[in-house]
Amino acid sequence: MTVEPWQEPKPTMDQLRRLVARIQSYARTSRIMGYLSTIFLIGLMLQFGILVYSQFLYFLWFPAPIYLPEWFYYVMFITFALSMVIYGLANTVNARLNRYIIEYRRIGVVVQLRCEECNRTSDRVWEKDDFVFKKEGQCACGGTQYVSQMYIMPLPLKDKDKEK
């Protein structure tokens, strides 16, 4: 579901924060899936290489074919099945992640409102026709609020960003 910021219902800051948190966790899962599928692919290649060489080396210079134990084939089959499962899961995770990022790009701009009297600030999601110094609403103290800044909600996707 995609919510345009100028349409009802307007997205709230809570929704935006939840979306950012979800993107972070999906990005982490997607990274882990990437590592896992690389590991499984390398494992499969090694096993396939052993299989091919065990059968064909003897044509070249070995006097007799090398027979691999039965469990080798089971292991190979299990590795193959697991890598298919990981591949499917990774696809699902990445599709979700992309959808959330598209939504984030639409609503990920934050407008900060500041009170003229007491300097208290509050945030809300950007709406169409917002501009800096636009007057909007009243503060709890009775003063007029204005748009003091607009910024893109940070999206820390790398672990390095999170430490800052």
List interacting residues with Zn ion (CB under 5 A). 115, 117-118, 120, 139, 141, 143
Tell me how far, at minimum, the Cβ of 112 lies from Zn ion, in Å: 14
Tell me how far, at minimum, the Cβ of 123 lies from Zn ion, in Å: 15
**Is 143 or 156 the residue whose CB approaches Zn ion more closely?**
143
**Is 76 or 139 the residue whose CB approaches Zn ion more closely?**
139
**Is 118 or 150 the residue whose CB approaches Zn ion more closely?**
118
Contact 26, 96 (CB under 8 A): yes
Tell me how far, at minimum, the Cβ of 132 lies from Zn ion, in Å: 18
**Is 117 or 159 the residue whose CB approaches Zn ion more closely?**
117
Half-sphere exposure of 79 (CA within 13 A, CB side): 18
Query: Which amino acid belongs to residue 95?
Result: A
Q: Which of 34, 154, 6 is nearest to 93 (CA)?
A: 34
Tell me how far, at minimum, the Cβ of 141 lies from Zn ion, in Å: 3
Contact 116, 144 (CB under 8 A): yes
Tell me how far, at minimum, the Cβ of 133 lies from Zn ion, in Å: 16
**Is 117 or 161 the residue whose CB approaches Zn ion more closely?**
117
